[in-house]
Structure 1
């Protein structure tokens, strides 16, 4: 396949490039720093402008994972603008370009996040549940998906991937948690009762590949493991895997004071089931948190 990837230099993008390079696919990565792409993205060629692909052979697929990190710093007005531009505006530009191609790609797989649902409390949530819309994160995801959906007008199959926090040996949420937990300084966030969906990086890569390969897959899919855990459960499982205590919780009031509205990412949650994902026949390699963490944290 001929595949264009945005966000290719990120955690998921780099893993996808390694996977697809081993399968012999032709890869292009749209990047602000295309000269860095070959070193970061195995087997991929970097492009600074989409127009660099004009006049070439048609693409088979576009995978849109671009977006500035959402949890790196508080949501100031400037940060919100950057998050919006890097997701919503970029996707609009990408879809408009696809529509101008003589032969548009057959499929667009576009990123989203479980934040689409907002803080769902104790409610069970699946792909047919309503969006949150109560906080900036959910509104961002809704607008992001709407821009991707426009590609359908050109006969493009659109799959939307609502991704949970991705667990990886290096990078992402787990990398931020490991230093304090390894020192025995970890603990639950707030009450610890908020639901916390998650997915192993290997399963995230396999699911993206699965959705590309199956022509019947269209619409939203939850990219999360089938095991549903609360933050307190996650905390204790991580601590047990590291053979450390987890007795230093982060109080709710401190998180809200420090992070403002962004604290919903830590204090809110989604009791999420990947119902449509399961219906596609996808099989998880790491459906249970204890097994996933044991694999990720095993000593080399």
Structure 2
């Protein structure tokens, strides 16, 4: 269950409307549900034109499909798996980023993945129409692995795997699949879109935000507390706020400690005081987003 899906993380204020009170994850899940139902309630031709993407779509100026396809699932299992993974990894990410950054990251990853999928036709790949949130979901799981590389994920609910190994393993699977597709095989799985999501996260979080680059000296150094789960400081894993007054460093470290505990032991392991701290910080970030 995601952080913002708990009762104590829901604000009690009077928002401007229902949508403003929903978390970014809830909005994304809701749109995916609506589009999934559309495949069974609306003409298939309409859905194929507007909620699948390919180079043929782009050439016909259906450019919005580069985004709408990332909310679209025709197959039930494809839909359920993507939504389950998104649901499982999004809570800590939205808690760090806030609603606006979470949604921006999802949309950016979706667009980047679709563009990469369509551009593969320039390299001799077949122009296969694609749909699904898999590219954006891969971006979310990669972001989680950057922040929490040693967080334990239970594959199929029984096999413990560190996040970095799980994400890396799936990336290798997609690389192998893409190579097979280059040779005319590999099926119709959107390996390029999956890798697009992974690359997007590495670029935006790892390179642009500097979380995977060596830290150089600066004129204003700070002694940073190390986290027990990763052995690295919170600022090594996610972008620091541009205005220090907005998010105090102590608050950042407190949030990192709480989310580390949640990722290792579950939300129910938090004490009443820790729950209150998480609720307070979460509400502050949602208000600022």
Calculate the TM-score normalised by the size of structure 1.
0.29
Higher share in helix: 2
Higher share in strand: 1
